[in-house]
Amino acid sequence: MPVIYWDRIEGLYCKCTKGDIAIFKILENCIKCIWCGNEIKCIPPIEFVWKEKCENCEGKISTFIIDSAGNKVCSRCGSFK
Ligand SMILES: [Zn+2]
Ligand SMILES: [Zn+2]
């Protein structure tokens, strides 16, 4: 399961990974994969993370975050739900 720390989130799906193993740094207006630099626009702090299929990721399972504004964002493609 993904774990949210104060400065990062571990256990997310990303474009650069096959599984939910990516680590994203939490920045001011996005989260950013520490390996490939993939930036996912959102408004930290991140409230919650869960797994669900993403239509924009060819229906593959991904992780979604809920940010402080209530946006639901796919951590792989950055699309809003
Ligand atoms: Zn990545
Ligand atoms: Zn997606």
Segment 23-76, tens digit of pLDDT:
999 999 999 999 999 999 999 999 999 999 999 999 999 999 999 999 999 999
- What is the pLDDT, as a whole number, of residue 5? 97
Measure 50 CA to ligand 1 centroid, in angstroms: 18
Strands (E), the chain: 3-4, 8-12, 22-26, 30-33, 39-41, 48-53, 61-66, 72-74
Measure 13 CA to ligand 1 centroid, in angstroms: 8
User: How sure is the predictor about 81, in pLDDT bands with cuts at 50, 70 and 90?
Assistant: confident
Residue ranges making up the domain that contains 51: 3-74
Number of domains in the chain: 1
Residue found under tokens 């993370």: 49
- Over residues 4-16, the mean pLDDT reads 97
- Has residue 12 got a pLDDT over 90? yes
Measure 21 CA to ligand 1 centroid, in angstroms: 9
Measure 68 CA to ligand 1 centroid, in angstroms: 22
Quick check: is 32 in a domain? yes
Measure 38 CA to ligand 1 centroid, in angstroms: 5
Quick check: is 80 in a domain? no
Measured at the CA of 63, the angle between CA 59 and CA 66, to 5 degrees, comes to 120
- Has residue 1 got a pLDDT over 90? no
